[in-house]
Amino acid sequence: MTDYTADEMMTVAAARALTDGSVCFVGIGLPSTAANLARRTHAPDLVLVYESGTIGSKPATLPLSIGDGVLADSADSLVSVPEIFNYWLQPGRVDVGFLGAAQLDRFGNINTTVIGDDYRDPKVRLPGAGGAPEIAASCREVFMIVRQSPRAFVERVDFVTSLGFGTGKGDRERLGLKGRGPQLVITDLGVLRPDPDTCELTLTQLHPGVDLATAKAKTGWDLRVSPDLVTTERPTDQELAALRDLTA
Amino acid sequence: MTDYTADEMMTVAAARALTDGSVCFVGIGLPSTAANLARRTHAPDLVLVYESGTIGSKPATLPLSIGDGVLADSADSLVSVPEIFNYWLQPGRVDVGFLGAAQLDRFGNINTTVIGDDYRDPKVRLPGAGGAPEIAASCREVFMIVRQSPRAFVERVDFVTSLGFGTGKGDRERLGLKGRGPQLVITDLGVLRPDPDTCELTLTQLHPGVDLATAKAKTGWDLRVSPDLVTTERPTDQELAALRDLTA
Amino acid sequence: MATIAPLAQAVSQVVHDGDTVAFEGFTHLIPFAAGHEVIRQGRRDLTLVRMTPDVIYDQLIGAGCARKLVFSWGGNPGVGSLHRFRDAVQNGWPTPLELEEHSHAGMANRYVAAASGLPFAVLRGYMGTDLPKQTANIAPITCPFTGEVLTAVPALRLDSAVIHAQRADRKGNVQLWGITGVQKEAVLAATRSLVTVEEIVDELEPRPGAVVLPSWVVDYVAEVPNGAHPSYAHDYSTRDNDYYQRWDEISKDRESFRTWLEGVA
Amino acid sequence: MATIAPLAQAVSQVVHDGDTVAFEGFTHLIPFAAGHEVIRQGRRDLTLVRMTPDVIYDQLIGAGCARKLVFSWGGNPGVGSLHRFRDAVQNGWPTPLELEEHSHAGMANRYVAAASGLPFAVLRGYMGTDLPKQTANIAPITCPFTGEVLTAVPALRLDSAVIHAQRADRKGNVQLWGITGVQKEAVLAATRSLVTVEEIVDELEPRPGAVVLPSWVVDYVAEVPNGAHPSYAHDYSTRDNDYYQRWDEISKDRESFRTWLEGVA
């Protein structure tokens, strides 16, 4: 069996989470790599939607940006940016919103705005919201792919750019959000899912060779662990070949 | 000189009112005939916009309906129906809205909804509003082309489908309408313009061979006449040839 | 993913008694064949929705399929009035027809709101007209930033939408071009949708001005060549203007209409 | 009708000191050449508007042209951060930069409202986020029909808009295709507009997916082949990804940026 990196395991695990035939609103970077890997492996009819207005893109090479020509040329339908948000994302037509994050907290809230507690005088100015607040609000469910570290996985995000479960169960419903929120966080160490009772992100899966102590150490909050913790199946040779072909 | 009908005089007079290079939102029927005649005579760069979403149509033959293929094929730009109303009409980009009417009153209010004073039990059910209420509200000015008769030119319309000057001067401003309202009503007998002080439609022009008594008799209100009443120039041979070629 | 099915089956799956349903099209691509199938299937109590109800709506109304019409302009384009529509409104024949009446801008924005998953839309519309007196579905709304008062209309959510298009591929992706009106919005505003097409092809090659509706927002596709007749399908057929003229005669009295109706069934 | 003019003249007519100005584009068709001309002309106190401010905005900010940025995502796409943007926000260099921050959906709808002549737009957005705490330009609005509370954002009226397109004809009609983003809305939202184009042609033959802006809503057209470089123009050029990588190095410190800036002037 082929050797692989932690990032490769993460991307493969993320790709596996996408069901064939479902519709995925794809953020650039790791989510796009995972979604395109899924299309090349078990989910050839996965529908990729990018916020640049491309619906049903089937890129032959991995796009570097959200606005690559290959996304337009291979799309079933190409629409304006206002239309992609208003007609396609907002009404809840999309099954999965697939996002990255600079900071993430135990309730799946996302920060991509500022590090530090003063918005007007930040320690680090991040790129900002992009499409994420409405992707996180409107998709039937949200998957995230984030490398695990105490800096990224924090007790409470410095700034809520995109809402996960807010302060816990019931917040999304109170705000009238239709989507179910973050249902899956795939990291380089394992997979977290919201606890059905509290919505707190809970470790339910460890990738092969990763020990629980590492996962806890790389989490900035007191990580809860599922009693049914399982080990991820390692990437198959076919998955790795497809991924390496894609990112070559 | 060639003989001509009253309808031909009306259409020629209406065409002459359109300035070359201006943008005209065109209703189907008489307005469309006049606008297309203008394009073929003195206003080759008149921009025709139809509510079906065609911008800059240059039809080689007169369209029978607002959605004829010739309007689409010859357009500079073809957009959706929501876009034509929201991006093109509503912001006041259009110079002239060119409308017909079933009923018109002394303040230029238009009725195309019902004849009779009970909306729920009308004497005659007319087609309804179509695009006219917002054309009348949003274009910089409105031209109308209507055959004159006491049934059509009434003291007060049974139903205000599209606003002219309401009950008189100041009503449009109070409602926040940006367009200047009906500035020209071209009929088979002459031309009416709003009085600058009262906004009441006033006869300013008679077509050749029409006498004032006829114009008054064919008006359902006590028609005011401008002290500077002039006679319309009769259609030129070139105008008639172009019109007959268009409607052949 | 859309199911490709024969017309009768597709119509029976998509259009149900009591539905709020739109057969959309702006002169171009009117889904006449699907409308006639609805008449054959004897649908009742429909709330018919359309910006420009024309001859197919006159036929549906005359056949007794409708209890209400939501619209902005009802006529026989280029010809005149709709006699069955008038007979229903003025005389309640064959059944009374409730009306909800808007402007084109209002209707277009109601579709946009529904397609956008919003409960309402805002426009500069209806100001100074008598239209707001006749329906609760036109209301003032104040801009929270400038204080300006504008007009709100509620989203026009449909149970079902039926449109005609030039083409679909075998996966059910739909392509239409020429004047495309509010057809995209109608499909996106509906719980169930049916698209009749001139032809089903292997590949939808890109066309200037084409709207493509991906298969996953369409429920049924039925191949019905000339399914827009007497309307037209840009680059496939031309408008049968004589039919519209003849309809004026046929529809003028109830007897000649009844004879026509027997011919449909 | 649009005036066809050389770039320097067109920029000086369209972009003035103190303007609220957008140079729009969604990765594709970014009007870099026009942005560099604005730097050369020494414009000051601009409120820069864009959904995705990227390298050209980093350059304008570093050159001291801007006092405020209205945006939803600021980064070097595919590479990382914008260092001049960060330096301005974190250290006020070369001048402080005020921020007004939105989501993409909010910005897109603000453009739509302005293009539509409305004072505000309504969306399902920003709910539960910290964004509304940082600007007065996000407010709740209640549906007059259902009572549901949604979010309103004000129209994004521009003094000037600059975009790049593939083609114009000699009358100044503009044609762009591929990913067209919010470019139509930006032009329609602006009092003055400039479109740089790859080429001016006799006739705009129809293209699949093309947006055509008629000449009468465009003020200036300037022929600037490769005017989107290092961005790309679909069917004319490809994205110069190396430039974006190099920019990361150049922009990291003030000295190397100054050297770059001298090269522009």
DSSP string, C157-178: -EEEEEEEEEEEETT--EEE-S
- C240 in Cβ contact with C22 (< 8 Å): no
- What CA–CA distances, in Å, run from B115 to B121, B127, C102, C134, D172? 10, 11, 17, 15, 47
Query: Is the full-model pTM beyond 0.90?
Result: yes
Which pLDDT tens digit goes with each residue over C8-59? 999 999 999 999 999 999 999 999 999 999 999 999 999 999 999 999 999 9
Comparing CB atoms, the residue among D117, D139, D206 nearest residue C144 is D139
The DSSP H or E segment spanning C140 is: strand C139-142
Mean pLDDT in residue range D161-168: 98
Select the residue from A55, A74, A76, A85 to test the C interface by mutation, using most C Cβ atoms within 10 A: A76
Taken in order of first residue, the domains within chain C and their CATH numbers are 3-103+157-256 (3.40.1080.10), 117-154 (no CATH)
pLDDT higher than threshold 90 for residue A248: no
Residues 152-191 of A with CB under 8 A from D: 159-163, 166, 171-172, 175-177
Confidence (pLDDT) at D265: 78
Mean pLDDT in residue range C159-173: 98
A to C CB pairs, distance under 8 Å: 33
Distance CA A168, CA C90 (A): 59
State the nearest Cα–Cα gap between B70 and chain D, in angstroms. Answer: 15
Mean pLDDT in residue range B91-96: 98
CB proximity A36 to D under 8 Å: no
* Residue A233, amino acid: E
Confidence (pLDDT) at B2: 84
The DSSP H or E segment spanning D84 is: helix D83-91
Confidence (pLDDT) at A64: 83
Among candidate residues D257, D180, D195, the one with its CA nearest the CA of residue D227: D195
Mean pLDDT in residue range A136-154: 97
The gap from C-alpha C66 to its chain's centroid, in whole angstroms, comes to 13
Distance CA A77, CA A135 (A): 19
Chain A residues with CB under 8 Å of D26 CB are 52-53, 66-67, 81
Beta-carbon separation of D214 and B47 below 8 A: yes
pLDDT higher than threshold 90 for residue C258: yes
Mean pLDDT in residue range A188-198: 97
Confidence (pLDDT) at D78: 83
The strand ranges marked E within chain B are 23-26, 47-50, 54-55, 77-78, 96-99, 103-105, 110-111, 114-115, 124-125, 141-145, 153-154, 182-186, 190-194, 201-206, 224-231
Tell me the percentage of chain A whose pLDDT exceeds 90: 92
Pairing of strands C220-223, C3-4: parallel
Phi, psi for B92 (deg, rounded to 5): 80, 30
Phi, psi for B137 (deg, rounded to 5): -85, -35
pLDDT higher than threshold 90 for residue A126: yes
Nearest-5° Cα angle at B90, D20 to B136: 140
The gap from C-alpha C142 to its chain's centroid, in whole angstroms, comes to 31
Which pLDDT tens digit goes with each residue over B4-54? 999 999 999 999 999 999 999 998 889 999 999 999 999 999 999 999 999
Q: Which residues contact B118 (CB under 8 A, 6 or more apart)?
A: none
Local structure of residue B232 (DSSP, 8 states): P
pLDDT higher than threshold 90 for residue B181: yes
Confidence (pLDDT) at A66: 82
Beta-carbon separation of D1 and B92 below 8 A: no
CB proximity A46 to C under 8 Å: no
A to D CB pairs, distance under 8 Å: 163
Subunits close to C (at least 3 CB pairs below 8 A): A, B, D
Beta-carbon separation of B86 and D173 below 8 A: no
Select the residue from C103, C111, C231, C245 to test the B interface by mutation, using most B Cβ atoms within 10 A: C103
Among candidate residues C169, C163, C159, the one with its CA nearest the CA of residue C182: C163
Among candidate residues D130, D153, D135, D129, the one with its CA nearest the CA of residue D99: D135
CB proximity B56 to C under 8 Å: no
Of the listed ranges A61-65, B49-53, C151-155, the least confidently predicted one is A61-65
Mean pLDDT in residue range A15-24: 98
Select the residue from D97, D126, D179, D236 to test the A interface by mutation, using most A Cβ atoms within 10 A: D179
Strand order through the sheet with C120-123: C120-123, C149-154, C139-142
Q: Give the SS3 label for residue C22.
A: strand
Beta-carbon separation of D188 and B55 below 8 A: no
List the single residue in C with minimal CA-CA distance to B126: C81
Pairing of strands D174-176, D211-213: antiparallel
Confidence (pLDDT) at B27: 86
Beta-carbon separation of A68 and D103 below 8 A: no
Taken in order of first residue, the domains within chain B and their CATH numbers are 6-247 (3.40.1080.10)
State the nearest Cα–Cα gap between C26 and chain B, in angstroms. Answer: 6
Using omega within 30 degrees of 0 as the cis cutoff, is the peptide bond preceding A235 cis?
A: no
Average pLDDT, chain C: 97
Comparing CB atoms, the residue among C116, C211, C217 nearest residue A86 is C116
State the nearest Cα–Cα gap between B97 and chain D, in angstroms. Answer: 16
pLDDT higher than threshold 80 for residue A1: no
Which pLDDT tens digit goes with each residue over A72-91? 999 999 999 999 999 999 99
- C129 in Cβ contact with C154 (< 8 Å): no
Which pLDDT tens digit goes with each residue over A210-241? 999 999 999 999 999 999 999 999 999 999 99
pLDDT higher than threshold 80 for residue A166: yes
Mean pLDDT in residue range B46-71: 93
Judged on CB neighbours under 10 Å (0-12, 13-18, 19+), B62 is middle
Report residue A62 as tokens: 């991995």
Q: Which residues of C touch A (CB under 8 A)?
A: 1, 112, 115-118, 173, 184-185, 188, 211-214, 216-217
Mean pLDDT in residue range C125-143: 98
Among candidate residues D48, D96, D59, D93, the one with its CA nearest the CA of residue D247: D59
Q: Which residues contact C68 (CB under 8 A, 6 or more apart)?
A: C46, C47, C48, C97, C98, C99, C100
Distance CA D233, CA D223 (A): 13
